[in-house]
Structure 1
């Protein structure tokens, strides 16, 4: 089983409401070491904990969701409401009574919940849905691109994929079509290329809409580190930006490259390859993550979680009951029934 890189607190069933703590509560967070010489930056004390984003992390304390800083101080307590998404450009989307809005890192509602759906901010804009149409707002909640699309994604590289009627195309930040709607599906640009679907087959276009990698794949993903994972039939491999197959289709499952290493699966076991297709770590793990900040968490059978470096060596010995990926120099780990945070030893 593959554990996703980012695991959030969405699984926690929480009712709707919000409140800020005053004064700010300071959690006792004197660094503590365990018997494997790992020092906790924030000792295990939370029922749930998520990764840091924009300097804050979501944690669950006595059934209540709170935002903490990297010292373990509670910034804001969010009482009985569904956890927000991560912070992007200083704001996080949240849902209250089936309406979406945005809060800042102090827990203050900046854009009141009013939208049927909403996406994270990117390039100063966020896609939101009112009634049955999508448009884009700025960080004040003002529409800069009026609701008119049947679906819309966030901006990347100055373009956003939108659906008009039954077809997809790309708009610029003024709302004008840079690539007219002619595809059955499209996704955001990465490394200068956008992946598009025509019928059931995937390919890649450039920023003026030319098909530069012919649609020949049953599935194609974004480019990362100059390579993209693709599937033909039931086998996965990797192509370069010219469409050349550089790592043959041979994997039961494959993930994108991060820091020059990709997670792959063969016969229900997970391992890691480099950009030449050579195994950095042979398939042996039952749970594993992508590499973040030079480390990946892994688990074998019923053994504890630990972290390996990009050479496949143990950087942090197996010792945790659960683990998250590193972000902003820290990772949430579980010891017994409580979550805390450790620092990245590579930083």
Structure 2
């Protein structure tokens, strides 16, 4: 397979260093491209500005022949050719003709397409299953899609039946990160609540802010100037007395208070609201696999659920603690002397401190790392390995809706999208 070597620029370590605090994502070696999603990245042609797809090695997956191109979703790729949008497969074969002014990726078996300024939905055979009639729409998730009418948003099902009238101020998405959920946030007049799949408000629209995802059946909400926790039926489970709250992970949630001198200190509570670990830490991450990172004497260490320091504070960074990621498959990325490596839950070095950066967490025995100008996957032995990219199918999406929420995966999914935006700001 031919490599696309003359049409892309080297991404310098200086460019990436400005983003290493969290806006890092997986990139193919030596290419000025978007992030890898489902195993491919969008790459422009050097001379024509046409676009195609490459894999992490730089091998061409789809030639640079399209005006615009999306990522593979449910086996199909939205592409723009001669001013019109259609869909191809990974073999670059046209599956749905170029008949649309705009097009979105497939999700839940349907894709949003537009003609003459109005949106509808097609199936994978290109049949129009929901007629054009919406000024704006979002993708389907868990059998629901948000539509805009005038300046308000509502919800339809996959038959086009209106489930929620257009009365809310922002899109209504039954999805948190990579998982479908049975609830969605709604907004009216800068107040927030929650609805279920039937459109019923299970949490009234009275809160000034809400966390964007829930775990263990609880969601953080802000009332007035303080945060607490409510369940999906709207019952208050933890009183509104904190200056900030995080999600529940491993049965505990990080909570933060501000002292009189505006110093913010964090501790942990259980689902009953009991203070398990007092708020004494200037910085702390969430619990994962029984441990949480805490900042003590200008270094990071790890405590257990009893608040005992089990790994002494000696690390310069825990990556990415700002995104709540932590131990995964028994390992976590930490930094010493300006480089990252991996330790286990006993604090033992498993993979040496030789990497410029690490991206994400171990999943399926592999993680993405950066060393100088080389970016690649390693396994738990620190050996370079070929990545595996299981593309999400419609069936897999439906199965995942039954799983419990994974904030770590959800947040990493959001970070990849955020980095794609940021990369556009720093391109040469």
Q: Give the TM-score of the pair, scaled to structure 1.
A: 0.68
Aligned to 2:105: 103
Name the residue aligned to 1:301: 337
After TM superposition, the structure 1 = structure 2 runs for residues 136-285 of structure 1, keeping only pairs within 5 Å, are 136=155, 145=164, 147-152=166-171, 154-155=173-174, 157-187=181-211, 188-233=213-258, 234-285=264-315
C-alpha displacement of 1:252: 0.8
Deviations 1:10-48 (A, max 9, x none): xx9xxxxxxxxxxxxxxxxxxxxxxxxxxxxxx966668
Q: Deviations over 1:250-288 (max 9, x none)?
A: 111112222222222234422222222222322222222
Among 288, 295, 302, the alignment partner of 2:318 is 288
Which residue of 2 is the match for residue 133 of structure 1? 152
Deviations 1:284-321 (A, max 9, x none): 2222222233221111232x321112222112112222
Moved more, 217-226 or 310-319: 310-319
SS of aligned partner of 2:205: strand
Note closer, same or farther for the CA distance 1:184–1:49 as it changes in structure 2 (3 Å cut): closer
Question: 1:311 aligns to what?
Answer: 346
| Contact 2:155/2:172, CA 8 A, preserved across alignment | no
- Give the drift of 1:162: 1.1
Which among 336, 339, 342 is matched to residue 372 of structure 2?
Answer: 336
Deviation at 1:68, TM superposition (A): 3.7
Given that residues 328 and 361 in structure 2 are in contact (C-alpha distance below 8 angstroms), is that contact kept between their aligned partners in structure 1? yes
For the structure 1 residues 147 and 75, does the alpha-carbon distance in structure 2 shift closer, same or farther, using more than 3 Å as the test?
farther
State the Cα distance separating 1:61 from its structure 2 match: 9.5
In the alignment, is the contact (CA less than 8 A) between 1:292 and 1:325 conserved in 2? Answer: no
Q: Distance in 2 between matches of 1:129 and 1:278?
A: 51
Aligned residue in 2 for 1:28:
none
Distance, in Å, in 2 between the alignment partners of 1:119 and 1:267 is: 46
Report the Cα distance in structure 1 between the residues aligned to 2:63 and 2:161, rounded to whole angstroms.
27
Partner deviation per Cα, 1:62-119 (whole Å, 9 max, x = no partner): 98884648x99764578897997x98x889999xxxx9964359xxx94358799988
Closer, same or farther in 2 for the Cα pair 1:198/1:282, shift >3 Å? Answer: same
- Judged with a 3 Å threshold, the aligned counterparts in structure 2 of structure 1 residues 298 and 243 are, in CA distance, closer, same or farther, namely same
Distance 1:257-1:66 versus aligned 2 partners, 3 A rule: farther
In 2, are the aligned partners of 1:47 and 1:59 still within 8 Å (CA)? no
1:56 aligns with 2:39: yes
Q: Deviations over 1:110-163 (max 9, x none)?
A: 435879998886534455767643444668999764543213564365221211
Query: Quick one: structure 1 residues 308 and 58, their matched pair in 2 at CA, closer, same or farther if it must change by over 3 Å?
Result: farther
Contact preservation (8 Å) 2:355, 2:369: yes
Measure, in 1, the Cα distance between the counterparts of 2:241 and 2:204: 22
- Contact 1:252–1:267 (CA<8 Å) still a contact in 2? no
Report the 3-state secondary structure (helix = DSSP H, G, I; strand = E; otherwise coil) of the residue aligned with 1:311: coil
RMSD over equivalenced CA pairs, Å: 4.4
Q: Which has the larger radius of gyration?
A: 2
1:322 maps to: 357
Would you say how many aligned residue pairs link Structure 1 and Structure 2?
302
8 A Cα contact 1:92 1:120, kept in partner: no
Structure whose residues are more often helix by fraction:
2
Q: Structure 2 length normalisation: TM-score?
A: 0.57
Is this contact kept in 2: 1:189–1:195, CA < 8 A? Answer: yes
d(CA) in 2 for partners of 1:231, 1:3: 25
